[in-house]
């Protein structure tokens, strides 16, 4: 393996409290290039954490370093960052292009028009750029805001629910855009509640529950680390009862349930054992396995498990 590169964002022992309310509690993690998903229930402290990561809020303890520097009161750092927060109104009277130009000027860019053209093309809004933004649909406004966030070609993008109001086609387009940007070596932190999309996009995830970091890292690895929890797998086969009675015989199986439709549900705390034994049992019994599906494999299920505690 190559020597690990310095992390783009380093959050170290960060806490934030407001009087007696502890919003974020002793959180430590690194963010590296690629797409990182930031997840958590409403009120878990995600927004506070994001604000601290972008330097908009101060930490109560610990430190946040972006590109190795303190992010607080460090305007030059914003040249390398693009931040898009969840709720932000735009000036309705402004034309889309004007808005992106304004963002470019705020970053003190030169050769503004080129950059603006490029950003607007990236979000595929060239046709609408000369109309005032109040005529845009919500999804279009979000995309134009994204163009404004990208116009200065930042290495680091922090996006909070960027897809609010986006329709299915816009979502597909946006996903491809993010993947392209990540492939170019950028670092993207994406906060979202739509877990099936995060599962598709993110290389790593950070899960915040009640102000604490409940899980971090690559999703499949997190899932594997949770193998001690109850594991449900649904099996469709040629002989449900036969498979069910064989499965009950395994010491790693806690329970077996046979559905009216013939599906066999196996409950176990030893994932690996079931995964290895299932084909063996089927082979021994001359049973044909048609479908094997883990029911708690999705990011959503992992999320639910970790949030419930």
Residues that bind other proteins (CB under 8 A): 39-43, 137-140, 164-172, 193-196, 220, 224, 272, 275-276, 278-280, 282-283, 288-294, 297, 300, 303-304, 307
Minimum CB separation from other proteins for residue 122, in Å? 18
- State which residue, 111 or 169, has the beta carbon closest to other proteins: 169
Minimum CB separation from other proteins for residue 165, in Å? 8
- State which residue, 30 or 273, has the beta carbon closest to other proteins: 273
In whole angstroms, how far apart are CA 126 and each of 86, 96, 97, 130, 140? Answer: 24, 9, 9, 8, 11
Residue 246 near residue 284, CB atoms below 8 Å:
yes
State CA 176 to chain mean position distance.
15
- State which residue, 69 or 227, has the beta carbon closest to other proteins: 227
State CA 287 to chain mean position distance.
40
Distance (Å, rounded) from C-alpha 130 to C-alpha 109?
A: 21
13-36: buried (b, 16+ CB within 10 Å) or exposed (e) per residue? ebbbeeeeebbbbebebbbebbbb
State CA 103 to chain mean position distance.
26
- State which residue, 113 or 121, has the beta carbon closest to other proteins: 121
- State which residue, 70 or 283, has the beta carbon closest to other proteins: 283
Alpha helices in 24-83 (DSSP H): 46-53
Minimum CB separation from other proteins for residue 67, in Å? 31
């Amino acid at each position: 393996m190559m020597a690990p590169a310095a992390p783009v964002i380093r959050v170290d022992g960060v806490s934030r409290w407001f009087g007696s309310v502890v919003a974020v509690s002793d959180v430590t993690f690194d963010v590296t290039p690629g797409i990182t998903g930031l997840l958590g229930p409403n009120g878990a402290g995600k927004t506070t954490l994001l604000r601290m990561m972008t330097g908009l809020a101060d930490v109560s303890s610990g430190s946040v370093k972006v590109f190795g520097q303190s992010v607080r009161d460090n305007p030059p750092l914003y040249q390398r960052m693009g931040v898009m927060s969840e709720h932000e109104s735009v000036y309705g009277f402004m034309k889309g292009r004007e808005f992106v130009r304004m963002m470019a000027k705020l970053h003190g860019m030169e050769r503004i028009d080129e950059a603006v053209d490029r950003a607007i093309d990236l979000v595929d809004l060239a046709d609408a750029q000369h109309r005032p933004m109040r005529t845009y649909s919500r999804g279009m406004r979000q995309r134009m805001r994204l163009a404004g966030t990208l116009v200065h070609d930042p290495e680091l993008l922090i996006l909070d629910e960027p897809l609010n109001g986006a329709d299915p086609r816009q979502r597909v387009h946006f996903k491809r855009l993010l993947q392209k940007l990540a492939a170019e070596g950028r670092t993207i932190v994406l906060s979202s509640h739509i877990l099936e999309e995060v599962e598709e996009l993110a290389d790593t995830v950070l899960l915040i529950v009640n102000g604490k970091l409940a899980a971090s890292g690559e999703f499949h690895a997190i899932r594997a680390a949770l193998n001690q929890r109850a594991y449900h797998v649904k099996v469709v086969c040629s002989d449900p009862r036969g498979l069910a009675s064989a499965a009950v015989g395994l010491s790693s199986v806690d329970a077996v349930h046979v559905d009216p439709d013939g599906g066999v549900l196996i409950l176990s705390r030893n994932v690996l054992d079931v995964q290895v034994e299932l084909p063996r049992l089927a082979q021994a019994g001359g049973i044909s396995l048609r479908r094997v599906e883990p029911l708690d494999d999705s990011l959503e299920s992992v999320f639910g498990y970790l949030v419930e505690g």
